[in-house]
Amino acid sequence: MFKVGYFGLKPGICRFGELVLCHEEKATCAFYDGLLMAHRIALIGGDGIGPEVTAEAVKVVRATGVAIDTTDFDLGGMRYLRDGEILSDDVLNQLRKFDAILLGAVGTPDVPPGIIERGLLLKMRFDLDLYVNQRPFVGTAPGHVTPHDFVVIRENTEGPYVGEGGVLRRGTPHEIATQGSVNTRHGVERCIRYAFELAAKRERKHVTLVHKTNVLTFAGDLWQRAFNDVAAQFPQVGTAYNHVDAACIYFVEDPHRYDVIVTDNLFGDILTDLGGAVSGGIGLASSANLNPARTGPSMFEPSHGSAPDIVGTGKANPTAAILSAALMLDFLNESAAADRIRAACDAAPTGSTVDIGNAIAAIVAGK
């Protein structure tokens, strides 16, 4: 008998011949004759140090004992240079069949900016509806003695990144370039709701909206009204508002004030790099691109780039990739294993890329 569990389905049993679907909330695992089946993970090592850090992340996940079945996809800048392939519809449809996607890093100096970012990363975000970007930040900022612990929730499929705009009279003295920001009530509200649902599960239970409502009055008004409407449904969660420029100052001077931050695509992109800088460095910053509706796989990746200058040197720190894999396990309802990974990373092993991966894997495995 084959049994498959899915997230987010109401209790009940549906039978299709020998196929039994266990419609239990938060069920994720598949079983065949009582044997645990593996989570199906698509691996995109990508470019530069991406394959190196992804290999260590997979090693650590396997050390937890969680069963995973991985399939490698050759995507990124080097693939584009080789045959012009970025992300075909056929490959995208293959990715839809997986439980999660683990990505290393993409980008190479020989590919002009924007080609891989839009053709691969943004295409996955838009087509797989990865509308929440979640980045946790735990650390002690420079000049502080007590650690902070906050999460940035970034709307991931709208704003200036949708590509609305264009160029007129290119290359002339009268050239005009416009870049619009698209914000829908549906997109804004579902992101804000996710932030409140997350905050309601955390100890401090607080959400801060970050925007620039005094200047971006149209988009800002939509964000503020949606924020207020959702907040009214979560009376147990405290709220605040910061302009984005003030938030940048607070990230440096007083990061402890934050619990959960929710913001738009552009501001979130900028703030999360600063969050990494005050939390031990971008090499430790993990990231989850989530489809909370679970209509397809979510994608997990470190925040750092492909660092082609250190490929093969053993200098790449795989911790961010490993912590991103922990976020993946959280999403797959393997939070106990994810917590073990985070605890092992707290030990801050040093050494080469492989040394760090081996040390964290050993701690996770209890060796």
Q: What are 131's two structure tokens?
A: 């509308």
Residues belonging to the active site: 161, 212, 245, 269, 273
CB 260 within 8 A of CB 151: yes
Predicted TM-score of the model (pTM): 0.89
pLDDT tens for the chain, residues 1 to 367: 333 333 333 333 332 233 233 323 333 454 544 556 799 999 999 999 999 999 999 999 999 999 999 999 999 999 999 999 999 999 999 999 999 999 999 999 999 999 999 999 999 999 999 999 999 999 999 999 999 999 999 999 999 999 999 999 999 999 999 999 999 999 999 999 999 999 999 999 999 999 999 999 999 999 999 999 999 999 999 999 999 999 999 999 999 999 999 999 999 999 999 999 999 998 899 999 999 999 999 999 999 999 999 999 999 999 999 999 999 999 999 999 999 999 999 988 899 999 999 999 999 999 7
Which pLDDT value is given to residue 367? 74
In the chain, residues under CATH classification 3.40.718.10 are: 39-365
Amino acid 37: pLDDT: 78
* Strands annotated E in 250-330: 260-263, 286-290, 298-302
- Residue 2 structure tokens: 């084959």
Tokens 């092993």 correspond to what residue? 349
What pLDDT sits at residue 35? 56
Query: What's residue 348's pLDDT?
Result: 82
**Displacement of CA 134 from its chain's centroid (Å):** 5
CA atoms of 67 and 89, how far apart (whole Å): 29
**3-state DSSP assignment of residue 169:** coil
Q: Which of 308, 327, 339 is nearest to 116 (CA)?
A: 308
Question: What CATH superfamily classification does 39-365 receive?
Answer: Isopropylmalate Dehydrogenase (3.40.718.10)
